[in-house]
Chains A and B, each alone.
Chain A
Amino acid sequence: MTLTVDEIFDRINVLIKPFNKKNIPLGPDTRFSVDLELDSLTVMDLLSEIEDEFDITVPLNLLPDLETVGQFTKAVEQLLSEQ
């Protein structure tokens, strides 16, 4: 079964919820460090949960290019398609 981009986005949003302490409304342009105020280690923890949720490997090397929820979604879509 192939997930649509919207489905991936929704599932990522569920995972972000516990990290979203100030209940910032989430959109594709929401930035992890600036808007959600997450430090780099927390973003790595979130990445680990995303790996387990979608059963994929998301290399830490991709992190510098993953600043927003939308970019995360796109990366997951890409990694799922490569499987």
Chain B
Amino acid sequence: MTFDLFEKFDPILKDYNNLPEGEENPFTVSMEKVLSPTTAIINGRETILAGTNNYMGMTFNEDCIAAAQEALTSLGTGTTGSRVLNGTYNSHKHLEDALRKFYDTRHAIVFSTGYQANLGIIATLAGVKDYVVIDADSHASIYDGCAMGNATIVRFKHNDPESLDKKLARIRRNDPQAGILVVLEGVYSMLGDQAPLKELTKVSKDHSAYVLVDEAHSIGVFGKTGRGVAQEQDVEDQVDFIVGTFSKSVGTIGGYCVSNHPKFEALRLVCRPYIFTASLPPSVVASATKALELITSSNLRNKLLENSMKLNRGLSQAGFDMGTTGESPIAAIIVGEQNTAIAFWGQMIKEGVYVNLALPPATPDNLNLMRCSLSAAHSFEQIDFMLEKFILVGTRLGLLQKAEERILGSDPTNIIHSARA
């Protein structure tokens, strides 16, 4: 008798086969043409891109494109080598110099994706006798970094300093000499909430733990020079490692880690996701280097947060159940039923707005989300268009009526707010 390796996927395939067919299927959509950071042709119609993570609209920046084209012509399409075998060009070193300058740190190391940066740093830093303590709502790349390494993994309640304190105290009580790495995120991507880094880093340092902050969704977005939430909350001196990605605000692909640890360069000799994969192509390296330069002096952060506040406020005033507040570039509507969320997505794409359908287990608390990530490149007119379509589809699906009933039922003072809307 032979066993089908794919049998274990039967339950998920069953769900998948129940999805709507054609253009309303969220897993088969593709862009026929990309017109700008915020628009594309999908199913033959011009569509607003509302969930790209392209926070700065950097993908079509003229200077970045020019730098990439120059590199493409002079250095070729790819490196065909790993960083340690044939794949380090001067430009990779210049990009690491640019990161050191951007973060004002002694060391920087570039990975081929942000996912690999987390895999590599977490799995390599924490060895068999060490501990990694992670937030319950951590990104998959953090969980996977834990699974890849040999350390003992402990999880604390999302953004809860008291829970972190308890977990760290227990580890220290049993193992006073243990090396401990606490892994946090500047902004959690699904609901856009910031980590209270002041409190969390204080608790970590009280127990002599190292702190890593993943700024994937906050580089370019927060902080005086766009370094992220650690800069915004003025705790950079309490953070030992910052990990990030070039695939959001920087507008291309790649990951990195920066640090002041004196032995940091050792990672180049031992970090498998750094060593055993091809390095970034020269054109990507060139556009990332240029984008970092532009982000430092960018004045687009205010425009981005203004855009997000406008969409969040509009959706909330319309009566949607919101998972976000508008303090970060994420706007997410909570939809009770999964099938309603899937239908919502399908109707939005037909109306010309491409949002993210985010379902468990990628979301916290088993939430079904219609998630938008705003861009500084969105115009107010585009946001008005998104709002109009959200309200149209939300009304059609009966979500707004329900929201109104819930508000009326729960807190009478809320009526005033909804009436004002």
Report which A residues bind B (CB closer than 8 A).
Answer: 39-41, 44-45, 47-48, 51-52, 55-57, 59-61, 82-83
Contacts and interface: CB of A to CB of B under 8 A. Distances in A.
A61 B153 contact: yes
Interface string B165-194: 011001100100000000000000000000
Nearest to B150: A61
B398 interface: no
Contacts of B152: 57, 59, 61
Interface string B29-50: 0000000000000000000000
Nearest to B364: A41
A78 B171 CA distance: 16
A41 B361 contact: yes
Contact of A56 (B156, B170, B360): B170
B406 interface: no
Contacts of A44: 136, 155
Nearest to A57: B170
A57 B170 CA distance: 6
B184 to A, nearest CB: 17
B361 A39 contact: yes
A83 B174 contact: yes
Given A44-B155, A60-B146, A60-B154, 10 more contacts: A39-B360, A39-B361, A41-B360, A45-B136, A47-B155, A48-B163, A51-B167, A55-B170, A57-B171, A59-B152
Lowest 3 CB-CB distances: which A-B pairs, in order? A60-B153, A59-B152, A57-B170
B164 to A, nearest CB: 11
B7 to A, nearest CB: 16
A52 B166 contact: yes
A51 B153 CA distance: 13
B157 interface: yes
B142 to A, nearest CB: 12
Given A57-B174, A83-B174, A40 B146 contact: no
A48 B136 contact: yes
Contacts of A61: 152-153
B361 A48 contact: no
Interface residues of B, number: 17
Nearest to A49: B157
A57 B155 contact: no
Interface of B: 136, 146, 152-157, 163, 166-167, 170-171, 174, 360-361, 366
A75 B166 CA distance: 20
Contacts of B361: 39-41
Nearest to A63: B153
Contacts of A47: 155
A4 B72 CA distance: 69
A83 B174 CA distance: 7
A55 B170 CA distance: 7
29 contacts: A39-B360, A39-B361, A39-B366, A40-B361, A41-B360, A41-B361, A44-B155, A45-B136, A47-B155, A48-B136, A48-B155, A48-B156, A48-B157, A48-B163, A51-B166, A51-B167, A55-B170, A57-B170, A57-B174, A59-B152, A59-B153, A59-B154, A60-B146, A60-B153, A60-B154, A60-B155, A61-B152, A61-B153, A82-B174
Give the most central of A44, A45, A51: most B CB within 10 Å. A51
A42 to B, nearest CB: 8
Contacts of B155: 44, 47-48, 60
A80 B360 CA distance: 34
Contacts of B153: 59-61
A39 B157 CA distance: 17
Nearest to B361: A41
A51 B157 contact: no
A61 B171 CA distance: 15
Nearest to B151: A61
Contacts of A57: 152, 154, 167, 170-171, 174
Nearest to A52: B166
A82 B136 CA distance: 26
Contacts of A82: 174
Contacts of B171: 57
A70 B361 CA distance: 26
B173 to A, nearest CB: 8
Contacts of A55: 170
A41 B359 CA distance: 13
